[in-house]
Structure 1
Amino acid sequence: MNTMLGTMLGAKCLRLQRGLPFFTQQRWHSFRERKRFYKNVSISQIGSNKFEVNLDKRKLRTPLGNIFTVPTEPLAIAVATEWDAQKEIIKQHTMHLTSLCNTAQDNPSMRAKDKVVRGILHFLDTDTICYRLNEPVELVQFQTAEWDPMLEWINKKYDTEITSSTSIVGPQIPDSTKEMITKHLSTRSDWALVGYENTVQCLKSVVLAFALIDREITVERAVDLSNLELNYQVQRWGNVEWSHDIEYADSKARVAAASLFVHLVTEQTKKISKSSLL
């Protein structure tokens, strides 16, 4: 058991190490809790495609001091809802959409669009569902049954050739596949790419992120597939209930917000139902 567990942990650590240079997520909000200082939350339209969020008569601002503006009304409403839902204490770490907007607007790392696309693409080389173990047999069968359909889906829809491997260096991703993924991402707006990037980071998988954003799978399903090896261990050996439950809930919240963010900044927003994203 110790050998098998060590192998799994070693493989997981390698994937994380390989992804670290591109895995840094900018969290541009303060975790310091403050008392709620406003009563009413509203939105206002500025020009043809900008919307602001108002806290009483004050304009919401980003961490860099810019007036908080978003490109669509649905996104403005969603952010205003986050602020309106705060109780006596403002818990900014729970306002994931606000955080994503701050990152998109302030662009603190000053990255151009092509650099963001390359950063997302790098996750393809360390995609969670592409790395497989060759023991124990039950886990191998579990991975095949749960992950292979996702590979089949993305290869068919995006005309790619993404495979899995038990090698420590991972599968070889053809240049044609990387070009196809790059082409798709390049058609998305700078704001949408923030959502893509955060979804990929949370799930540690480009494949699962695409499937979720394309509404092929639900948020819960995406998180479960991303944590398949952990879930296998929990089923066999049990878990620390409160710790696992909290981490699972937090993962779902972040993944849901990031994927929803992509839709809220696109024209398709009005066609999205709440049930399709939960």
Structure 2
Amino acid sequence: MTNDIKPPVAAPAGRKRFWKQATIVPAGTGYAVELDGRPVKLPERTTLAVESNALAQALAEEWQAAGKEAGGLFRPEDLPLTRIAGSMLERIPNQREGVIESLLAYAGSDLLCYRAENWSDLSSQQKERWDPWLAWCEKTFGAKLAVSGGVMPIKQSGAAIAALRKTLESASDAELAVLGVAVPALGSLVLGLALLHQQASPEDLTGCATLDEQAQMQRWGEDTEITDRIARMGRDVADAGRFLILLKQG
């Protein structure tokens, strides 16, 4: 029998909250999260502990809030910062090369590289909003990405992929964990890197990544499935951005 507490693998309905107080305590050079005096353990038995006091406080706050509504049930979705911290502490160190490869795959299918075929309002918006980010990527990382009209796959140059690989290999575990949330949400490695380097707000980047969806709704009217998808994307990107800011606060 152990008193360690693990983040749940929960059913959609959630699990019953079983603690009263979430706190942080000193742990090595950082701070660990405890529930009623017992440490939160990640799936591989790592203690949920971070060096940043601000991040540790936020982790404790999300555990404190989880399950206080919805009949006292809590779900993994209630703990987004814990999810990113868990990736930083366990997944990235154990699977770093695989994580880099999965992120690098987005360079070959980056949202910003696939444009509307006809010269429409959408294609004009894409050029206006997306070209500056591709120029920033080339200037900052030395990665010049090709652009195509339509959805047929295009092959990016070996030089561009190598430059982006070098960028990802130089990233810290925390930065890769942030990218691991932001890049799939946005469908763009370039926009994920823009978030990481704090070049724009999560809201602006989400808006940039959803030009097509916004154009569809302008033409056909609001669609709750689309608005829900945009909202989920916005939350994921905001969580990744908040994690990064808290981590840097120390």
- TM-score band, normalised by the shorter chain? 0.7 to 0.9
Are 1:90 and 2:74 an aligned pair? yes
Q: Secondary structure at the match of 1:251?
A: helix
Residue type of the alignment partner of 2:234: K
- The TM-score, its normalising length taken from structure 1, stands at 0.76
Aligned: 1:197 with 2:180: yes
The yes-or-no answer on 1:252 pairing with 2:234 is yes
CA-to-aligned-CA distance 1:20-57 (integer Å, 9 cap, x gap): xxxxxxx9842442333222221112112x42101121
1:89-142 CA-to-partner distances (Å, cap 9, x unmatched) read 32331221111222333429941x223222211110000110112126222212
How far does the alpha carbon of each residue in 1:248-273 deviate from its partner, in whole angstroms, 9 at most, with x for none? 322211111123334444xxx129xx
2:35 matched to 1:55?
yes
Question: Alpha-carbon deviation of 1:199?
Answer: 0.9
For residues 1-278 of structure 1, the aligned pairs below 5 Å read: 29-30=9-10, 31-48=12-29, 50-86=30-66, 87=68, 88-107=72-91, 110-111=94-95, 113-135=96-118, 137-166=120-149, 168-241=151-224, 243-265=225-247, 269-270=248-249
Number of aligned residue pairs: 239
Identity between Structure 1 and Structure 2 (%): 26
How much does 1:181 deviate?
Answer: 1.7
8 Å Cα contact 1:29/1:63 also seen in 2? no
SS in 2 for 1:54: strand
After superposition, the C-alpha distances for 1:37-87 in whole angstroms (9 at most, x for unaligned) are 222221112112x42101121211224444322343232112111112231
Unmatched runs of 5 consecutive residues or more in structure 2: 1-6
Secondary structure of the 2:149 match is: coil
Task: Report the more deviating stretch, 192-201 or 133-142.
Answer: 133-142
Q: Which runs of 4+ in 1 moved over 4 A?
A: none
Query: Structure 1 residues 91, 118: closer, same or farther in 2, change over 3 A?
Result: closer
Query: What's the TM-score once normalised by structure 2's chain length?
Result: 0.84
Q: Over the residues paired in the alignment, what is the CA RMSD in angstroms? A: 2.5
